[in-house]
Amino acid sequence: MSSPVIKAYKELYIYVKPYKLLVFALFLLTILVAPARLMFSPILKFIFDEVFSTEKPYNVALRNLHTVILVIIGITIIQSIIQYWQIYIQSVITQRVMNDLRVRVYAHLQKLSMEFYQRWHTGEIISRLSNDITLIPQALNSILIDIPLSSLMLLGALGYMVYLNWKLTIFTLAILPFIASVVSYLGNQMVRVTRQVQQRFAELIKLLEERISGVHLIKSFGMEESEIFKFQKVSRESLEASLKSAKIIATQTPIITLLQTIGLLGILWFGGLQVLNKSMTPGSLMAFFTALLMMVDPIYSISRSFNTISQSAGAIGRIFELFKVEPLIKEKPNAIAVNSIKGEIEFRNVTFGYSNDAPVIKNVSFHVNPGEIVALVGRSGAGKTTIVNLLMRFYDPQEGSILIDRIDIREFKLQSLRQQMSIVPQDIILFSDTVLENIRYGTPYATRQEVIEAAKSANAHEFIMQLPKGYDTVIGDESGIRLSGGQRQRIAIARAFLHNPKILILDEATSALDSESELLVKDAIIRLMQGRTTFIISHRLAFVKEANHILVIENGEIVERGTHSELLAKDGIYRKLYEASSELNST
C-alpha cells in the first residue's frame, strides 16, 4: 500500500483504539467462523464415501446420513450464532467510530474562524461530514472481517486441497493464474469504462441541477430551445458511454464463463484420472472441488477489500484534512472572561484586509460612549460590515487595536466577548425548530415567560399566537412553517431582546420589508436600542438620523463623521447619499 493510504489509516486507528477489546473479540469470532464454513468440504467427502457408497451396508449408510444431517444442523446453528455476534460487534465498532469522528469534526468546525468558511464551500464541508464519513464502515469491515476471514478461508481450503491430493493441487495452481490474469485484465477494463459512464452521468446531473435552479434566467432570455439542444448533447454522450459499457459487459461475460468452464473441465479431467487410478475416492474429488470453489470468493473478497481500503483512504484523508486547519482567531492562555461590560468602544488606527496585500479598511479610528448609537453608512463594499465583524472578533486587524471598556478585545475569552453582543442581520437564520427555541437560541436557559415577554417587546407575540401551535410551531428554512421577511426580522429582534446585550448590531435590519412590516420592525428596534451601544448599517438613511455618530465609509476609510444635521450642512458625500436615499424612498 502507498504511504498516503497507510497514513490515513494510522490517523483512523486513533478512533478505533478505544474499542480494542471489541476488535479482539471480533478477531476471535472470525477465527471460529472460518473453520465452521470449511467443514462443509470434508462433510461432502464423508457423504460420498460413507453414505452414498455401495460398499456400505444400508443400516450403516442410513446411520451415517442421520449423523451428517445432525452435524450440519449443529454447525449451521453455531455458525449463525457466531455470525450474529460478529455482525453486531462490527456494527458497534464502526458506528461508534463514525459517531466519535463526526462529533469531533463538528466540534473542530465550530472552533474555526470565519476565514475558513470564506475559503471553503459549504457543499464541500457537508460532503466530508456525510459522503466521506460513510465510507469508513466499508473500510473497517474490510480490515476487521473481510480480509482476516477470507485469508483464513483461503489458507484453510488450500491446505485441505493439498491434504486430499497434492498432485491435483499443483495442477490446479498451474492453470489458475492464467485464468485469473485474463479475468483481472477484463475487470480493469470494465472499471475504466464504468468511471467514464459515471463521469458522463455526473456531467448530466450537474447540467440538470444548474438549469433547473437557473430556469428564471433561461426563460428571461428565451433560451429554452438552446438549453434543450445542450441537454440532448450531454445526454447523448452519457448514452454512448453507457452503450459502450453494455457492449463490453456483453463481450466479457461469455469470455469469463468460457475460461472458467475450461479451467474446471481441466481440473475434472485430471482429478478423474486420479479417481480411475484409485489415487482418489469420488468423495475426495467432490470435496476437492468444493474446497476449490470456497477459494474463489475469498480471492475476490480480498481483492475487493484492498480496493475498498485504497478508495476509502482518500475519503478518510479528506476528513482528517479538516483537522489540519487551525483557527486564525485564538484566545490567549490567560484570556479574561467577560461577565458584564459598560459598552464603551474604541477603534484605534485599525487596518484590515481579508488578504494582507488588499486592505478593506484603512487606519479607522473612532470612539463610542456606552449607550450611544453609531451609524455606518456608505456604498456597498465600502467596509461597513467588516468593521462590525472585527468588533465581534470574527477577524483580527493587521494593524491597530479594538477596545471595549478600554481593554483590547484580544484579552477577552471569545465566547464571553460575543455573549455581550447581539446582531440583527438582513438575512435572518432560523433553524428547523419551534418558535420558542429559535427565540431562545443564544439564551438557552430562558423561561417560556421570558421568551413571551421578549416577543411582545419585538411586536412578534401577536403573529406567533396565530400560528398553528403558537410558540411550539416548527419553523425554519428547510421544514415547518415559512415566515415572511417582517416576521423573521421580529423573531430575530425578540432573540436580541431575550439575550439582553450591551452591544447591538443592526446590519440592514429594515431593508426589503413592506411598509407595514417596516413600521413594526422599526418600532421594535427603537425599544431594543434603548440603553445599548448600537451599531447601525443601513442604506435607508432616514433610519440613521437619530444616531449620535454617523461615520461615512468610502474605500475603507472614514471620510466624514458627525451627526445627521452636521453632515447635511457639510454638503459632502453623506448629503448626496441621503438625498439619493430620500428620492428612492419617495418613489
41 and 97 assigned to the same domain:
yes
Q: Is residue 339 part of a domain?
A: no
Q: What is the bridge-based pairing of β-strands 474-475 and 433-434?
A: antiparallel
| Residue 554 within any structural domain of the chain | yes
DSSP 8-state secondary structure symbol assigned to residue 481 = B
Per-residue model confidence (pLDDT) at position 404: 94
Q: What torsion, rounded to 10 degrees, do the Cα atoms 310, 315, 318, 322 define?
A: -130
- Whether residue 142 contacts residue 309, with contact meaning beta carbons closer than 8 Å, is answered with yes
Task: Specify the length of the chain in residues.
Answer: 587
List the 503-507 sheet strands across, edge first.
Answer: 421-424, 503-507, 533-537, 373-377, 549-554, 557-562
Q: Is there a single domain that holds both residue 80 and residue 178?
A: yes
In a domain, 496, yes or no: no
What integer pLDDT is reported at residue 283 of this predicted model?
A: 86
Write the CATH number for 574.
Answer: 3.40.50.300
In a domain, 428, yes or no: no
pLDDT in the model for residue 587: 46
Structure-derived torsion over alpha carbons of residues 332, 336, 342, 347, reported in degrees to the nearest 10: -10
CA distance 372 to 547: 8
Q: What are phi and psi of 302, to 5 degrees?
A: -65, -40
Domain that holds residue 48: 3-323
**Whether residue 226 sits in one domain with residue 359:** no
Q: What domain count does the chain have?
A: 3
Q: What is the pTM of this model?
A: 0.74
Q: Quote the cell numbers at residue 454.
A: 421578549
Give the containing element (helix H, strand E) for 362.
strand 361-368
Q: Is the dihedral of CA 403, 406, 410, 416 positive or negative?
A: negative
Strands 361-368 and 373-377: unpaired
Q: Has residue 148 been placed in a domain?
A: yes
User: What is the torsional sign of CA 314, 320, 324, 326?
Assistant: positive
In tens digits, the chain (587 residues) has pLDDT values of: 557 778 888 888 899 999 999 999 999 998 888 888 888 888 888 888 888 876 778 888 888 888 888 988 998 899 899 989 999 999 999 999 999 998 999 999 988 888 888 888 877 788 888 878 888 888 888 888 888 988 899 899 899 989 988 888 888 888 877 777 776 777 677 767 777 777 787 788 878 878 887 787 787 777 888 888 888 988 898 888 888 878 877 777 787 778 778 878 888 888 888 888 888 888 888 888 888 888 878 887 887 888 788 878 888 888 888 888 888 888 999 999 988 899 999 999 999 988 877 889 999 999 999 999 999 998 888 888 899 999 999 999 999 999 999 999 999 999 899 999 999 888 888 888 899 999 998 888 999 999 999 999 999 999 999 999 999 998 875 555 788 888 888 899 999 999 999 999 998 877 656 666 777 888 888 888 899 999 999 877 777 888 899 999 998 899 999 998 888 888 888 888 887 776 545 44
- Which among 293, 323, 353 is the end of a domain? 323
Beta-bridge partner residues of 412? 336
C-alpha cell at 476: 425554519
Distance CA 304, CA 286 (A): 28
Main-chain dihedrals φ then ψ at residue 485, nearest 5 degrees: -60, -45
429559535: which residue's cell?
A: 438
Pair (389, 469) in one structural domain: no
Distances (CA, A) of 257 to 183, 260, 262, 448, 576: 10, 5, 9, 71, 83
Residue 544 · residue 536 · CB < 8 Å: yes
Q: Is residue 285 within 8 Å of 271, Cβ to Cβ?
A: yes
Q: Are residues 314 and 403 in the same domain?
A: no
Residue 336 domain-assigned?
Answer: no
Distances (CA, A) of 100 to 18, 104, 559: 10, 6, 52
CATH at 109: 1.20.1560.10
User: Phi and psi (nearest 5°) for 339?
Assistant: -95, -40
Q: Are residues 134 and 61 in the same domain?
A: yes
Exposure letters 44-79 (e unless 16+ CB within 10 A, then b): bbebbbbbeeeeeeeeebeebeeebeeeeeebeeeb
Regarding whether 284 and 352 lie in a shared domain, the answer is no
In a domain, 334, yes or no: no
CB atoms under 10 Å from CB of 429, counted, come to 11
Strand order in the sheet with 399-404: 361-368, 345-352, 399-404, 407-408
Same domain, 310 and 234: yes
Residues 368 and 243 in one domain: no
Q: How far apart, in whole angstroms, are the C-alpha atoms of residue 265 and residue 258?
A: 10
Question: How far is 330 from 365, CA to CA, in rounded Å?
Answer: 24
Q: Do 454 and 308 belong together in one domain?
A: no
The pLDDT score that the predictor gives to residue 495 is: 92
* DSSP β-ladder status, 421-424 and 503-507: parallel
Residues 314 and 277 in one domain: yes
For 366-428, the three-class secondary structure string (H helix, E strand, C coil) is EEECCCCEEEEECCCCCCHHHHHHHHCCCCCCCEEEEEECCEEHHHECHHHHHCCEEEECCCC
**Cα(15)–Cα(94) distance, rounded to whole angstroms?**
10
Q: Is residue 332 part of a domain?
A: no
- Say if residue 193 is in the same domain as residue 260: yes
Phi, psi angle pair for 327, to nearest 5°: -65, 135
